Amino acid sequence: MALSTIGTNQIASEAVTVPKVTDQVLSSRNFIINGDFQCWQRATAATAGVNNTLNTTDRWGWLLSNDGAVTSEQSTDTPTGTGYSFLLKCTTADTSLAAGQYAGLYHNIEAQNLQSLQYGSSSAKTITLSFWVKSNKTGTYTVALYKAFNTPYIIPNEYTISSANTWEKKTITITPTAGSTSFITASGGAFLNNNTLGFQVAFNLAFGSTFHGTNNTWSSNASHYSTSNAVNWMDSTSNNFYLSQVQLEIGDTATPFEHENFGTTLAKCLRYFYKKVADPSGEDNILVSSDYNNSTSNFYMTFFYKETMRAKPAYGNASGWVTQSPTFIAEGFEWTTFGFTNGGAYMDRSTTFTLDSEL
């Protein structure tokens, strides 16, 4: 049977739409990990905020030092009606911020993942931050990009929540010379090419005067997270703040949010944090282990990382077994228990622990 063919007249008559390809990559363009808040290894319910701590959704932590209190939690209220958002609530108000007080949330990006920005040269790229936001408190807010070593610089950018309790999409474009500066295009603007902090993206809720800089202007004062125009979101216990679909990408245009499958996002998050949960089904999750006895009283147990962790992790929150602190090796970590009797070292379904390698 002959293969079917398509005539040239048929081809010419068909309307063909070809997507425009720019210098942006078509996938893996979002520098933010878990920007749509898929992964919640630590907690999903309302949890009190602690400064410089991640305690609910993966890769997002608190900047918090004031006289008030806050919580964060998972919410199904989203701009698309599907998935999750990050919900913050003020639970104790601070109606008068001191100069050095602040509240906000942050996302840290590894320096070696930002090399494509070509910071520290005349070829430094323009970048665009886009996100969906909702709050009962309207007014001016700020989001800052803090560039860490080799020389720290920061840029605060204002945006406005115009309508109370309404999802609004915000887009902020940041050029390397914003505010007629040359910090980023000079050699000091370069990122280190390693696993240390490159960018911190900070969504600011309440920052005192010590932290006030100039809107859309790179500053060599690393404290300039916000501006004097920003609201004090901490002024009432009725205040809430929802965040969803955060994307940071190369270019001067916000492209549609890049939705990843859950497994891809989880694998990225596991580079920074892993939680072994108590699993009543008996299915061991994520980490693979091996163990052996070399005598009647010495017991060895080795775990291997499912994903390569950013750096040697901190081990904590262990329960459900008897053993000593682990020794970390390149592939994972191991325990050695000497002189035990009657199963003095063991692991069962209720065993839990955490490995933290966050920036």
Apex 69 CA angle, 39 and 145, nearest 5: 55
Strands 102-110 and 197-207, bridge-based pairing: antiparallel
Higher pLDDT, 258 or 285: 258
Neighbours of 17 (CB within 10 A): 5
Least confident range from 41-45, 255-259, 332-336: namely: 332-336
Q: Residue 26 has what pLDDT?
A: 65
Q: Residue 159 has what pLDDT?
A: 99
Apex 58 CA angle, 56 and 63, nearest 5: 65
Q: Residue 306 has what pLDDT?
A: 86
Least confident range from 3-17, 42-56, 146-160, 284-298: namely: 3-17
Q: Rounded CA gap, 146 and 107, in Å?
A: 10
Q: Rounded CA gap, 275 and 270, in Å?
A: 9
Q: Rounded CA gap, 22 and 32, in Å?
A: 21
DSSP letters spanning 54-78 = --SSTT-EEEEESSSEEEEEEE---
Least confident range from 3-12, 93-102, 173-182, 337-346: namely: 3-12
Residue 52 pLDDT more than 90?
A: yes
Q: Residue 150 has what pLDDT?
A: 87
Q: Residue 292 has what pLDDT?
A: 62
200-239 exposure pattern, b = at least 16 Cβ within 10 A, e = fewer: bbbbbbbbbebbbbebbbbbeeebbbbbeebbbbbbeeeb
Q: How many Å is the Cα radius of gyration of the chain?
A: 24
For 113, the 3-state DSSP assignment is: helix
Q: How many residues does the chain have?
A: 359
Per-residue model confidence as pLDDT tens digits over 324-356: 678 898 889 887 665 544 445 555 566 788 999
Q: Residue 326 has what pLDDT?
A: 83
Per-residue model confidence as pLDDT tens digits over 200-241: 999 999 999 999 999 999 999 999 999 999 999 999 999 999
Non-local CB neighbours of 139 within 8 Å, separated by 6+ positions: 160, 161, 230, 231
Residue 3 pLDDT more than 60?
A: no
The answer to whether the CB of 200 falls within 8 A of the CB of 161 is no
Structural domains in the chain plus CATH codes: 47-268 (2.60.120.260), 273-356 (no CATH)
Least confident range from 94-103, 138-147, 330-339, 348-357: namely: 330-339
Residue 242 pLDDT more than 80?
A: yes
As a whole number, mean pLDDT of residues 120-127 equals: 98
Per-residue model confidence as pLDDT tens digits over 149-159: 989 999 999 99
Mean pLDDT across the chain: 88
Pick the closest to residue 139 from 244, 240, 229 (CA basis): 229
240 strand-pairing partners = 89
Residue 197 pLDDT more than 60?
A: yes
Apex 266 CA angle, 260 and 269, nearest 5: 110
Q: Residue 329 has what pLDDT?
A: 84
Q: Residue 189 has what pLDDT?
A: 98
